[in-house]
Structure 1
Amino acid sequence: MKSILRTILLTGCLVVFSSHELFLKADSHFLAANMPAELHLFNGTFDKSENSISRDRIIDPKIVGPEYTFKPVDGDFYDKDNATFLKFKTGDAGTYVAGISTLPRNLKMTAEKFNEYLEHEGLDQVLAERKKDGSSTSGANEKYSKHVKSVLQIEGKRTDHYQLEMGYPIEFVPLSNPFDAKPGDAISFRLLRDGKPLSDQTVHYSTIIPGVDAHENENSTKTDAQGICTIQPETAGQWYLATIHMTQSDEADIDYESNWATLTFAIK
């Protein structure tokens, strides 16, 4: 009975704390050249979007490839089935990177929920600071924004656009072309905060397995002193990296500011 209750509580925590992650993904990360295509902006979990993103929150969307730069406008987006879709046309063959950033929003949480959220996301330093300064018994008002990227492969030609830095407040940058990897290969990524390597940061990663929620199947690692984390995808399919960087805020009525980053790619 205790085991069943623990599973129920853990599942509830996953739903609450994963419920506003943002992912930029595609039905397939392998696309044809010079053809209409779509990206999906999932606000919820990697498997299911809970609501669309209003256009006034989307900033600095772009897709970059070989001799190709596409900067979407409002008319390139549409909403369907609680998700936001981005229409575009691919260019020539090569490796592309797409990204979207969002304006911040505020979220108030009780002390209990906020502490649980910090523990679930591996924000150990923030949790320790709250215990040290006595604020762990107080609720928190968090200002958060999200910055998402996706790597796409257009036909067979590999190019180095996967390593493009989008200039977002926080972002993952692959250190090698993910599409060269096979299941079981190690792939490394650098995590940047304001363009500088972010060390000792918890990074979650997972993939879609039929019948299993990606967040229940999540693993985690940490970045090293150079901001590098390495994962070893064991199966083919879509994969993601996700992290949250949080600091105390000096802004009036805001306790913490967090920046969320995800990166999606695929393994054949």
Structure 2
Amino acid sequence: MLLAPLASAHEFWLVPHDGVTAVDKKVVFELRIGPTWPGVQSPRLNNLVDWFIAKDAKGVRKVEGRDGALAVGHLQTRAVGATVVAMRTNSTRINLSAIEFNEYLEEEGLSNVLALRKRYDLMQTPGREQYSRCAKSIVLVGGRSDGFDRVMDMPLEFVAHTDPLKFQAGDEFHLQLFFNGEPLAGNLVKAQLKADPVKEVMAISDEHGRVALPLTDPGLWLFSTVHMEPSGEDGVDWESLWASLTVNISSKDRSPSQ
């Protein structure tokens, strides 16, 4: 019961204990939930995971783990380059009061849903929502980043277009957002740096689902977004997907001429 409020928190992300590592090393993943870093570490709840896989230069495999464990999964690295990990959760239903639901929509930039609620005079009705999550993390192995832009076939997914090992602090980090394999426009994307205090920047995805976020510092970054549509299921008004991506971003030194 104590975990119920955390389970409905917006951000939900994977944190690898060694996001930059070598071949043949064990990487343990923890799950964090909350509105911002550092969040609260959550165990792997029963029936949470639909599937949990990793993709590297050698192919696709399952990320091992068990329900009830504090570590949600683990793997042994086996190839130089990027190992991209993706967790798809099962759906959960939640009922929020009208005030809570409207505040949530405003925080996540879901203006399309707010507009529908206003149009059909639903602003004073509770929000009956069914949601699931698409969490992704990039592990960099052997000092290489080949394959950092791998697609993991999640219904809502970030794909990085900037090499995390070649980024220069102060430049823009480029991502693309996909919904069911198609670029998703008009979504609010948040980027948060694991730091004290937390640093956050935001952008809206363009017509091609792209965002360019100016990141001032290297470190472990969390990218997140929410997409919501009306639901046709009984007892539910809205269906939402929450996507996240974590990656350790390095910063290359600029040459004196830059």
Does residue 261 (structure 1) correspond to residue 243 (structure 2)? The answer is yes
For residue 53 of structure 1, report the CA deviation from its aligned partner. 3.0
1:32 aligned onto 2:22: yes
Contact 2:170 2:216 in 1 (8 A): yes
Q: Matches of 1:150 and 1:17 in 2, distance apart?
A: 19
Distance 1:17 1:135, change over 3 A: farther
Distance 2:128 2:81 in 1: 43
Q: 2: distance between equivalents of 1:229 and 1:151?
A: 18
Deviation string for 1:169-223 (max 9, x for gaps)? 100001232222122221211100001000011111110122x2x3xx4321100
Instruction: Measure, in 2, the Cα distance between the counterparts of 1:92 and 1:17.
Output: 34
- Letter of the aligned partner of 2:127 in structure 1? A
Normalising by structure 1, report the TM-score: 0.85
Structure 1 residue 95: Cα displacement: 1.4
TM-score (norm 2): 0.88
Residue 33 of structure 1: SS of its match in structure 2?
coil
User: In the alignment, what sits opposite 1:209?
Assistant: 195
Deviation at 1:55, TM superposition (A): 4.3
1:146 maps to 2:133: yes
Distance 1:104 1:265, change over 3 A: same
Task: Tell me the secondary structure at the aligned position of residue 119 of structure 1.
Answer: helix
Where structure 1 has 5 or more consecutive residues not aligned to the other structure, the ranges are 1-14
1:194 is aligned, of 180, 185, 188, to 180
Tell me by how many angstroms 1:92 deviates.
Answer: 2.1
Higher helix share: 1
Distance 1:155 1:199 in 2: 35
1: CA distance, partners of 2:201 / 2:79: 35
- Is it true that 1:117 corresponds to 2:104 in the alignment? yes
Identical pairs, percent: 27
The letter of the residue matching 1:23 is W
Q: Is the CA contact (8 Å cut-off) linking 1:190 and 1:197 kept in structure 2?
A: yes
Return the alpha-carbon distance in structure 1 between the equivalents of residues 103 and 12 of structure 2: 20
- Is 2:167 aligned against 1:170? no
Q: Deviations over 1:134-164 (max 9, x none)?
A: 00111111000000101111022331x2222
Structure 1 counterpart SS, 2:60: strand
Counterpart AA for 2:187: Q
Deviation at 1:114, TM superposition (A): 0.5
Match of 2:94 in 1: 107
CA distance in 2 between partners of 1:157 and 1:74 (Å): 26
Specify which of 62, 65, 72 is matched with residue 71 of structure 1. Answer: 62
For 2:14 and 2:229, the matched residues in 1 are separated by: 25
Do the aligned residues in 1 keep the contact of 2:222 with 2:247 (CA within 8 Å)? yes
CA deviation after TM superposition for structure 1 residue 16, in Å: 8.3
Alignment RMSD (CA, Å): 2.0
1:261, CA displacement in angstroms? 0.1
- 1:52 — aligned with what? 43
Pair 199,57 (structure 1): closer, same or farther in 2 beyond 3 Å: same
Deviations 1:36-73 (A, max 9, x none): 22122213343132532324220221111111433024
Does the 8 Å contact 1:55/1:74 carry over to 2? no
